[in-house]
Amino acid sequence: MRKSTVIATTIALVGLAGTFLYSPAAAQQQAAPPVGPDWSKVEIKTIDLGNRTYMLEGQGGNVTVAVGDDAVIMVDSQFAPLHPKLKAAIAAVSPAPVRLLINTHYHGDHTGGNGLFAADGATVVAHANVRYRLAAGTTNGLTGVKAPPVPEGALPARTYTDTLAVEVKGRAAQLTHPSNAHTDGDTFVYFADANVLATGDTVTIGRYPNIDFAQGGNIAGMIAASDAYLALSNDATKIVPGHGPLTNKAQLIEYRAMLTTARDRMAALIKDGKSESDIYAAKPFADLDAKWAMNEQAGRNFMRVVYASLKP
């Protein structure tokens, strides 16, 4: 078996969970379900964001592509089995190769294609904690499911800690690390020349976000990240969320309001001395669930991750 095939198989199994039944306990984590989807039926949808910049929707996290004069910058890589389809979607807008692949965080539905794109010649760039998490393996804070380390070829080759500017001929991207938000290794990417902001899973539209508290995530950091996006964006900014449709500043304001409401309600219950089981029984997010919970399990898990962020 060729090395690239080994990488593809390993990363695909590492990253599948969020594809099948969304919940913050499962989605975006790296535990493999017993049966995968029919990858042949997955379609990649390309959305033109202007100025040679595109959003790709498929299976897993959203992908952002910025086309330069002789190379492409790519943000996130979905699952390994989608590598050929993502390459074809990129080739449809540019013949240039992917030379920079930025990971917004470590979860397998955003990093599954790392090894294969690296084998094609891309340099994988991420926060230092992404490399650490992928190299060490992780444990899901809600389910206890363990994800094994990924192969060396799938690890980020270039890392940073606070901010980093990267470029190919004719295009540049600004990478910034929001501390302890979705995970402890998040990156948001801003393409100033296109006014496009890629947030990774610090923003999800139409669903509750996951807060990976076992790997440093915290609702306070999620809110702080939203504040940074609001300061950076204007009414014309195109915001590519980790999951969900292309969004804008107005929807981001609504998303932030949901996060702060959840934080404040949970903090008040904890301050009142309510036990964890009593809090869950009270269903403090019931009205939020109607808009943000994709299913009942997602609603329960969001309560759990917010509680884990705030408990003493």
Q: Which domains does the chain have, with CATH numbers?
A: 3-254 (3.60.15.10)
**pLDDT per residue as tens digits for the range 145-192:** 999 999 999 999 999 999 999 999 999 999 999 999 999 999 999 999
Are 232 and 202 within 8 A, CB to CB?
Answer: no
What pLDDT, on a 0 to 100 scale, did the predictor assign at position 36?
67
Q: Residues 6 or more apart from 101 whose CB is under 8 A from it?
A: 74, 75, 76, 77, 113, 114, 117, 118, 122, 123, 124, 125
Q: Which two tokens stand for residue 84?
A: 């050929």
Backbone Cα Rg of the chain: 18
Diameter of the chain by CA atoms?
Answer: 60
**pLDDT per residue as tens digits for the range 73-108:** 999 999 999 999 999 999 999 999 999 999 999 999
User: Which residues in the chain come in under a pLDDT of 50?
Assistant: 1-34
What pLDDT, on a 0 to 100 scale, did the predictor assign at position 312?
87
d(C-alpha 242, C-alpha 182), whole Å? 11
d(C-alpha 208, C-alpha 203), whole Å? 9
d(C-alpha 237, C-alpha 272), whole Å? 41
d(C-alpha 125, C-alpha 166), whole Å? 9
Cα-Cα-Cα-Cα dihedral sign, residues 248, 249, 254, 260: positive
The helix or strand, by DSSP H or E, that contains position 262, with its residue range, turns out to be helix 249-271
